[in-house]
Structures are given as structure tokens and as C-alpha cells.
Chain A
Amino acid sequence: MKILQPGVLALIQDLGRIGKHRIGLTVGGPMDPSAFRWANRLCHNPDNASAIEISIGGFAAEFLEPAQIAITGATVEVKINGKAVSMWETLNVHAGDTLKLGFATEGCRIYLAIQGGIELEAHFGSTATVVREGLGGLSGKPLAKGDLINVSHRDNKARLSMPTQHRPNYADQSPLRVVLGYQAESFSSLDKARFFHGEYTVSERMDRMGYRLTGPACHSSVSSLLSEGISHGAIQVPPDGQPIVLLNDRQTIGGYPKLGSVMALDTARLAQMTQGKKVHFTPVTVEEAHVINMLARNKDANIELLPL
């Protein structure tokens, strides 16, 4: 596959660089792991196969050989040789075919998987591209015009489709679930009430490192603390009181007070939001979070793709 246009940002990802925090490496990986895994499953790939995360859209590529692909994630117009095709199902493409994506109309992270998976060298056990670290992907960089992508091993497989009722609704505005923790006690109950009842807006400072939100200011009674490990989804509150939800490419340690962490199921929803979207939060206990995750895993394991 040859990249004709990378669009806004196209990154090769697998499920992430796990177990390397001690040398300062972040996780990377897909911002919406569920949409990423389903793209791979539609291609009969293992969940961790390397695929492409396209932010916003504008991506175009030419296939030099026949392939089977699937596109999931944010709602976007997909065309092969100018003809509209469906998302959330296996697509057969021929040598010489051109794939073109428009711009996302709901959500903003689009996943493109290829049957067999993308073949490339892993860095520290992962192909996940983290531009800030210069690791993963093709020399640690976003995909660029003219890049060639190789496919590991290709078989002709049955075409599959994701049942409509299981496709995510990126317009879902239900609040993001937060497990209180870290320095939560250093925020007054008034500030916590303000946080959980307030409406926040996704600011223009939203990227793979984190989403900065604007809304009611919250203040911790501690201004700075010893740098400590930052978990996925951590809600960091700098002195200006405007929260930042830290995501896949976050720095591994930091010294701002934190209220707790947004559940991964919901950081995936946040990561699909664009500037200007409204965000609300709701607290859950760690027990509730464990149960919600267990049920989500069970649901995920019980979704069956339909043959086409």
C-alpha cells in the first residue's frame, strides 16, 4: 500500500508499548482501542496487529496488490475508486485501487486495518508510533506521502460485518466515569461538586498526550508535589484550575495534583471528541469500575461478527 495523502495525522499503531515505563517510555497505542480491535477482527487479525490510526481524515492510499481491509471508528465517507463503501465491514480491494477518506462527521479517530497486519520492526516490543519519543511506525514518524506499507502475510478470508447494534455511537454525551484517587482529598468538597456538576468544553489543546478542558475552575490545596507516576486517564489540575485528562502519549511522571482517573472505556469516548464538544464527569467507586470493566469484557467477547 502506498500513501498518497496522510491527511491530518496518520500513525501506525498496535495496542501499545507495555512494560517500559521504567525507562521513561509511554504506552502509545490507539486512542480508541475498541474501534482498533474491531478493525483487526474484521480482517481476521489478532487484536494487536499493526494498523493505522487516522485522526480527522483526509487520508488516501493506493493498493499495489490485492488486499482485504476494514475501516472503523469515527464516521467518515470512505470511497474506493470514487465509489462509496461501508465502514465496519471487510472490504476487498484490487491492485491499483485507490482508497480515499473524507473528514469525520462524528468522532475523530478512524482505524484502517489490513488483513495480515502491517509488517514492520518493533521498537521495545511494539510498533506503536509515539512521535514525541521518535519510536515505532516508520522511523518514529507519522505516515507521509509516498510511504510504502508492507503486509505481513495475506490469505483470502471470509468477509465480515459488525452488527449495527454493536457499532459505537460517537454522539453519546453520557458523562465520563471517574475513579477518584491520587490527591482527590486535597480538593474541597465544593470544588469536587463544581467539577462533577460543571460542564467542560474540549479546548484546542487536545492531542494524543492529553485533552485540556475549559470550564469551572477547581483548585487543590497543594500547589505542587513530588513528581509521581501518571496513570492513563489521570485528571491533572494545574494552578489555573482547568483540568487536563492525560491520554496515550502522556509523560509517565509529573508533579501536578490529580483528582483521579477517567475510566479507559470513557477516555476512548473522550478521544473521539473534537474541539468545542461538551464533557461532563460522574464519580464511580473502584468496585463499580471493576464491575463495569468485567461486564464490558464479557460483552466484547460475546459480540459475533456477521458473515457478509
Chain B
Amino acid sequence: MSASMRIDIAGENTLIVYFAEVASEQSAADVFTATQALEELVGHGVIDFIPSYASLLVIYDDDVFDFYAMRNEIVQRLKSNQKGALTKESRLVALPVYYGADAGPDLAELAETAKLSIAEVIEIHQSQAYQVFAIGFAPGFAFLGEVDPRIAAPRKSTPRKAVPKGAVAIADRQTAVYPSVSPGGWNLIGLCPTPMFDAKATPCMPVEVGDKVKFYAISKDEYLALGGEL
């Protein structure tokens, strides 16, 4: 439990635990550890959690816990978990990306604005492991960060009506893989053939909040061989 932790009311049966003011690897680790430590309350007065960058929203059954009892329960559990005994280790998940002009329509513009070559942008994008900070926006949409400031790029002023499934994209210092076709304003730099959300599979996602993701470049042929579509 970090010293800067704060618990606020969010609604009649929701409270939010803030671990830090800014997102960092430490805040993500705190959120991950806390979610693990509180997991066994689900079904026993806790309805669900929403972990995000530096906070954890707890939705509780107000027929079982009142706000004060819930807050105390959380504080006690996080205190006794101080050594960070995790039931699960966070993982490093490698995801292949085909970075090509036909896969990443915004790659050239992003490189030009950044005053880098396309090869440099690709190199920088795959050079680090990204933290999975949150999952939301759409089923299976994982927010990864933080992207090297040299290749950070603002959202497009006019969002696309249909971003393809598997699109690898950048918005500010975040990157993500679109799990399905959806509208979106992020800059598209490549395509990933790994399904990010499959309702029929168990687990239905290759990553969860707290994991890390590293991208690696593949060729067009490899992309197609892995089931990717163009």
C-alpha cells in the first residue's frame, strides 16, 4: 500500500482508490497488486472492479457493505498485503506487427512530423515493453504506454469511421491494437494478426491490466501466414 493512496466516494455503491496522481510503472503495479489482493471479495459483497492507469474503481453491493465498511475492508486487505504477495505474476506478451504502408496509412505522415525516417519510427515503437494501463473504450481495447515522446502524435482531428481490426495505433503517448472494426482517431502505423478479443476463447484476451506488451516487426508474408488480413 503506497503512502499516497487515497479512497474517495464515486457513487452510492462505488468507491475509487487512487494510487498516484500520474501514471507510471509503479502506479500500474500498485493497481495490479490491489486488484489481486481484493479479488476474493468478488461475489462476497464486491460486484466488480475497474482497474485503470492509477486507480481502481470498486463496485460493491450496498446490501452487504456500506461505504465505511467497504473502505476499511480495502485498507485492511491492502495493508496486510504490503509485502506484495501476488497470486499471479504479470506477464510480458509479445505481439507481432506488420508495419507497412498498406498496413499503417498514417506511418509516413507520423514519421515526417516527427522528423524521423519510417524505419526509425518502427524501431522506436518496438524498442520498449509497454505497460497495459487499462482495458476499456471497446471490448478488449488495451491502453498501452508510455510511448517514446519522439513518436507521440495527437489524435487525428477527424476520426476514421472504420479502423480495421488489428490496427496498431498511436495517440499521444499511448499505443494500442484495435480489437475489432470501430471508429477511431488514433494514428495507424501497422497491423497485428493476433486476435485481441475473441468471445469464444478462454481467456478471451491475450493480455490483462498489469501485463506488459512488446511489439516485434514481421513481414507481409508472415502477417498473412499468421492469419492477418489486408
Contact = CB atoms under 8 A, between A and B. Distances in A.
Partners in one complex: yes
Interface of A: 18-25, 123-124, 132-135, 179-182, 226-234, 251-254, 258, 260-261, 263-264, 286-287, 289-290, 293-294, 297
Contact of B12 (A251, A258, A290): A290
Contact of B140 (A24, A123, A228, A261): A24
A182 B137 contact: no
Interface residues of B, number: 44
Nearest first, the 10 A-B pairs at minimum CB distance are: A229-B57, A229-B50, A261-B11, A253-B136, A181-B9, A231-B14, A289-B12, A231-B11, A226-B53, A252-B136
B49 interface: yes
A123 B35 CA distance: 24
A228 B141 contact: no
Contact of B23 (A123, A226, A286, A294): A226
Given A231-B59, A251-B137, A179 B52 contact: no
A27 to B, nearest CB: 9
B62 interface: yes
Contacts of A254: 136
Contact of B53 (A21, A24, A228, A258): A228
A182 B18 CA distance: 10
Nearest to B174: A227
Given A135-B199, A253-B137, 9 more contacts: A18-B47, A133-B138, A182-B9, A252-B136, A286-B12, A293-B12, A293-B13, A293-B63, A294-B62
Question: Chain A binding site: helix, strand, loop or mixed by DSSP?
Answer: mixed
Contacts of B8: 181-182
A252 B136 CA distance: 6
Given A19-B47, A23-B135, A182-B10, A226 B55 contact: yes
Interface in B1-15: 8-14
Interface stretch (B78-86, B201-209, B219-227): B201-209
B50 A22 contact: yes
B186 interface: no
Interface string B28-61: 0000000100000010000111111111110100
Contacts, number: 138
B124 to A, nearest CB: 24
A213 to B, nearest CB: 18
Nearest to B56: A229
A24 B138 contact: yes
B16 interface: yes
Contact of B48 (A18, A226, A260): A18
B67 A286 contact: yes
A229 B139 contact: no
B139 A234 contact: no
20 contacts: A20-B48, A23-B135, A24-B135, A24-B136, A24-B139, A133-B138, A179-B11, A179-B12, A182-B8, A182-B10, A227-B53, A227-B134, A228-B16, A229-B49, A231-B11, A260-B10, A261-B10, A261-B14, A293-B12, A294-B63
A18 B59 CA distance: 10
B197 interface: yes
**Interface-centre pick from B11, B54, B67 (highest chain A CB count, 10 A):** B11
Contacts of B135: 22-24
Given A182-B10, A231-B11, A261-B14, A226 B54 contact: yes
A24 B137 contact: yes
Given A22-B208, A22-B209, A135-B199, A231 B49 contact: no
